[in-house]
Amino acid sequence: MSLSPTERFSSRVADYVRYRPDYPAALLPWLHGEMGVAAGARVADIGAGTGISSKTFLDAGHEVVAVEPNAAMRAAAVEWLGGNAKFSAVDGSAEATKLADAGVDLVSAAQAFHWFDQQAVKPEWRRILRPGGLVAVYWNSRKLVGTPFLEGYERLLNDYGLDYSSVSERYGDDEHMRRWFGAGLRGMARFPHSQRLDFESLRGRLLSSSYAPQAGHPRHEPMLAALRELFDATERGGFVDFDYDTRIFAGELSS
């Protein structure tokens, strides 16, 4: 696939909105408690996409400005969350947010973090953070083993995904994130998370992924046939469990 990170989800917005997971309920109490993020902290949600991560903070009472360069995803976020007076959205990138100097208390970087230029973002995020402000980097990492469904789904992606191996290797491990934060790392945690999906939801979840071939591609119909076969072989009561480990890292950006 040749689409840039900014545009590769444009044709998948509807599936992304309906079928992508939210984040564990334990994530915000961890930030408020162990990390000391104030209840009134203003949040810049970088690479906010359709607003899933923004909603997590809005539901906890935070003011949130969503920074998202993809017009279709940003429009979906505004349609969904724009009725909340504490929400706003900006056409900016992780490396050039267009936000004011020292205007936010927390930078949130969720599922899109692996698409960013992870060195170029540091001076930009330092610029927009108030003194003592924190960065929280987190993502849902799909479990690859543990059940016949999870293991079969991983095989399916390797068999049919267009650039799956290169995308799947972009997520950072603990040591990568320790190096990225350096001396500024304040804490890290892991939370279990899951979606219970019927077949139509599973299909939508797959098609929301940037590496899944879309209608018209020669791998599309064989992939969906394989998905149906996997679901029928592993469902229990009409559902499969799509399990994640959610990893979060928080700290200051040292110079």
Of 15-24, 59-68, 103-112, least confident by mean pLDDT is 15-24
pLDDT tens by residue, 180-212 = 999 999 999 999 999 999 999 999 999 988 889
According to DSSP, the residues that pair with 195 across neighbouring strands are: 242
Q: pTM, whole model, 2 decimals?
A: 0.87
**DSSP characters over 162-206:** SSHHHHHTTS--HHHHHHHHGGGEEEEEEEEEEEEE-HHHHHHHH
Name the region of 12 (left: φ>0; alpha: ψ -120 to 50; beta: rest): alpha
In angstroms, rounded to a whole number, what is the distance separating the alpha carbons of residues 153 and 141? 14
Q: What is the pLDDT of residue 13?
A: 72
In angstroms, rounded to a whole number, what is the distance separating the alpha carbons of residues 140 and 163? 19
Structure tokens at 50: 């359709």
Q: Determine phi and psi for 123, rounding to 5 degrees.
A: -65, -35
pLDDT tens by residue, 114-136 = 889 999 999 999 999 999 999 99
At 3, the pLDDT band (50, 70, 90 cuts) reads: very low
Domains of the chain with bracketed CATH: 10-251 (3.40.50.150)
Closest CA to 89 of 103, 73, 101: 73
